[in-house]
Amino acid sequence: MFAPFSLPLPLPLPLPVLPLTPTSRPNKPTQIRIITHTPLSVAYAPLPPLIPHHISTHAPHMVLHVGLHGGHTSYDIEQSSGRLGYSMPDVDGERWSDELSEEVWPSGIFPDSLVSTFDVAEVQRRCGKNERFEVKASDGVGRYLCGFVYYTSLANYESMEKGGEKPVLFLHTPFCPTQEDLDKGREAVIKVVESMVSIWLERNGEKISTRNG
């Protein structure tokens, strides 16, 4: 999440360990440790070293980035992100040129688009229907900091294993100006996390390591 938008984001910050119930095993709740990070500055340059550092430090089983999408009322789970095209100035007035992308993520190694190994349509399906909020599958993360941080995470996993697992998603949320909006948003985020965990457990069996993640 990004600093200027940190207050209205519906993250379950007071609940670092949640007894979630993934849909793949509804009668067997799973303790999930959620490691949150302080809000990120809406600036390009710090992210390429910062995101890999945190993933390496915490070794999470999966990563969920959350950012605001003004004007939208749904919670959109984004499928992929692009390497090029980040020409809009950040909060420092700086741009990220395609030449910088080529330097950090060379085209011979990193494709122009990287795709999460989570199927967002399946995540949406497992979230189910809810009268209080709408979770939607999407593939329009954009070419600003949301797309940039998403590609940075996906590229980090691509650098570990070309064409390998990329257990990362980006969730676009609407503004949450009221407490009721925040409460609904937390429910939506938790549903997305439960669905991700459900899919991860099916892929990896019941094998969960004792590391934090």
Q: What is the pLDDT of residues 182-198, one digit of tens each?
A: 889 889 998 999 899 99
Place 5 in a pLDDT band, splitting at 50, 70 and 90: very low
Euclidean distance between CA atoms 170 and 155, whole angstroms: 14
How much is the average pLDDT of 126-144?
95
Quick one: angle between helices 47-58 and 145-160, nearest 10? 50
Among candidate residues 2, 34, 7, the one with its CA nearest the CA of residue 196:
34
pLDDT of residue 28: 60
Q: What is the pTM of this model?
A: 0.86
What's the first-to-final CA gap in the chain, in angstroms? 18
CATH no., domain 3-10+43-203: 3.40.630.20
Q: What is the pLDDT of residues 13-52, one digit of tens each?
A: 433 334 455 554 555 666 777 888 878 889 999 999 999 9
pLDDT of residue 8: 47
Domain extents in the chain: 3-10+43-203
State the CB neighbour count (10 A cutoff) for residue 31.
9
Task: Among 62-71, 86-95, 120-129, name the one with the lowest average pLDDT.
Answer: 62-71
Euclidean distance between CA atoms 187 and 5, whole angstroms: 19
pLDDT of residue 145: 95
